[in-house]
Structure 1
Amino acid sequence: MLKRFNLLLLLGLFDYSGTNVITVKGKKGGNATLSCEIEAKDIYYVELSRLKSVVFCQNEERESESQNGRVFRNKSCDVIITDLRLSDAGKYILKVFYTDTQTEVKEQTSVYRLHFHGEISVKKGEELKLDVLLSNAYKVVHWTKRGTGEKEDWIRGRGVRSHRVTFRDGNLIINNFTATDAGTYEVLDTEGGILIMLTIKESKKKINDTNGESRRDTSPPPDI
């Protein structure tokens, strides 16, 4: 049994690019569950990997090991990522080895893409800072409200592609926000998968002080 299990581990090292991808939506600071839906009682090995690096593993010989202390096994073989950060966005591969009889070890492999959605309101003339250039981000595209199609604002290795956008301290910056900057911004990986999707709206809200004069809204932006 053990020899067969080790052989399956070796055979499991192949490209999963053609496997159906399960989309999982995350929220910054929240939790995300990667469900495997196996009811078998005897699970020998659970491994979650990302970018060819193991982030969590557990087998019958040792306790669970989490690379960052935020990943846990739940129920039979579900894996939960806690205290989500934008940098957690991307593709994950979950491998589970189990038996439903006394003699045969089976493998189930599932592929997930964890992504984030958010919404921000920006007042005209203000600076918009987008902290979205993740290590696995390939490009940032902008879909305007006017429906003029996709516009590439940034591509890895080529820099910014729009005169409205600048790059500073790892962020994409729009210094003088206008209505044409509103719309949907998508951060994509090399496969075209969405890592982050932000809906940017122009805020027309004004906050009056005690003298009746308008002042800038200094409240923090919504959590994405």
Structure 2
Amino acid sequence: MFNRLNLVLFCLVYHSGNTSISVRGKNGVNVTLTCESEVNNIVHTELFSESEEIDVCQDEECSVRVFKEGNCDVVIKNLSFSDAGKYYLHVYYTNDQTELKRLIRTYHLHIHDEITVKTGEELKMSVLLSNADKVEKSSSGEWREVWKRDHGVWSNRLMDTDGNLIIKSFLDRDAGTYRVLDTEGEILITLTVTESGTESKDKLSFTDKDKTEDTEQQTKWIVPVVVCLVILAVNVISVIIWRHQHRGHTQVPVQENTEPPHIL
């Protein structure tokens, strides 16, 4: 590991350029901070956020989260919203044994993501970073502020808790795009929120309509059949009752005796 003290051994340190680079990355994937330089004889690479120095493994074969790749690029693995913000890359290199130079790159890392939420569920957005100044929401192209650092939330349906912006019970009107801005107006996070129940509701409405139509069609032929069965049953019962009432009045024919009378 390069020791900072070794830098003092060089006679002079030259500062080479300070270019701001915008970088966009997706939540949960990797992003590369390219140094965009062909410098050789690199002695050391350092990466700083706005609040701290970040350990950078100098070997791209490392399994750590931040490592140097290629000549002087730096890779950040498995991005999270908390990674959004400014970064400063210092690349120390030399052309001979007496002169040390430093290449400086400034990055603004903007992280985006998309999520779906069911109606009525709680939506927790971990977007209230320490460098966040405000959160805006747009569903029709017009941005509206929903949270401000010095004010908090602008609606009683929202909560600001432990760095999370929470919608207590998600409604379809809460769907849209949310963006988090820093004090300079730079975008830190863009989060697109959609309602997962919208398509299902459409399908459900269509299904219910079909069921209603099917029921109406069934009613058209079931009612006549039931009426016929009732009439038939009444007729059968009437016949049975009539036979039962007239059973005692039925005349049985008398057989004629064809044998001659016996003479005593």
Q: Distance in 2 between matches of 1:53 and 1:2?
A: 20
Q: Which one has a bigger Cα radius of gyration?
A: 2
Residues in 2 aligned to 1:75 and 1:187: alpha-carbon distance in whole angstroms:
32
> Within the alignment, does 1:202 sit opposite 2:195 as a pair?
yes
Q: Cα RMSD (Å) of the superposition?
A: 3.3
C-alpha separation in 2, matches of 1:30 and 1:2: 35
CA 1:157–1:80 in structure 2 vs 1: closer, same or farther (change >3 Å)?
Answer: same
Q: 1:83 to 1:123 in 2, by over 3 A?
A: closer
Unmatched 5+ stretches in structure 2 = 1-5, 209-264
Secondary structure of 2:199's aligned partner: coil
1:167-219, Cα deviation, whole Å (9 max, x unpaired): 345422223333332221001222222121011223313399xxx99xxxxxx
1:70 equivalent in alignment to 2:65:
yes
CA distance in 2, matches of 1:178, 1:205: 14
Using the size of structure 1 for normalisation, the TM-score is 0.72
> Can you list the C-alpha shifts for 1:33-73, whole angstroms capped at 9, x where unaligned?
11113223211231110124211358xxxx77xxxx42111
- Asked if 1:110 is matched to 2:115, the reply is no
- Residues 42 and 20 of structure 1, relative CA distance in 2, 3 Å threshold: closer
Q: What CA deviation, in whole Å up to 9, does each residue of 1:123-175 have, x standing for no partner?
A: 33333221212222221111222x3x321111123211234422345422223
Higher relative contact order (CA 8 A, sep 6+): 1
Identity %: 48
Q: Distance in 1 between matches of 2:162 and 2:97?
A: 57
Choose from 155, 165, 178 the match for 2:158.
165
Alignment match, 1:49: 48
CA 1:170–1:103 in 2, change beyond 3 Å: closer, same or farther?
closer
When residues 20 and 150 of structure 1 are mapped into structure 2, their CA distance, relative to the original with a 3 A threshold, is farther
Secondary structure at the counterpart of residue 37 of structure 1: coil
CA distance in 2, matches of 1:179, 1:123: 9
Tell me the distance in 1 between the aligned counterparts of 2:167 and 2:51. 35
Deviation at 1:114, TM superposition (A): 1.6
Aligned to 2:172: 179
Give the structure with the higher percent strand: 1
Q: 1:136 to 1:78 in 2, by over 3 A?
A: same
Q: Distance in 2 between matches of 1:155 and 1:101?
A: 52
- Give the total of aligned pairs: 196
CA distance in 1, matches of 2:40, 2:91: 12
Q: In the alignment, does 2:150 pair up with 1:151?
A: no
The letter for the 1-side match of 2:55 is F
What are structure 1's unaligned runs of at least 5 residues? 214-224
Tell which deviates more after alignment, 178-187 or 89-98.
Answer: 178-187
2:251 corresponds to which residue?
none
Distance 1:102 1:38, change over 3 A: farther
Matched to 1:198, the amino acid is: L
What is the alpha-carbon distance in structure 2 between the residues aligned to residue 170 and residue 37 of structure 1? Answer: 35
Q: Structure 2-normalised TM-score?
A: 0.62
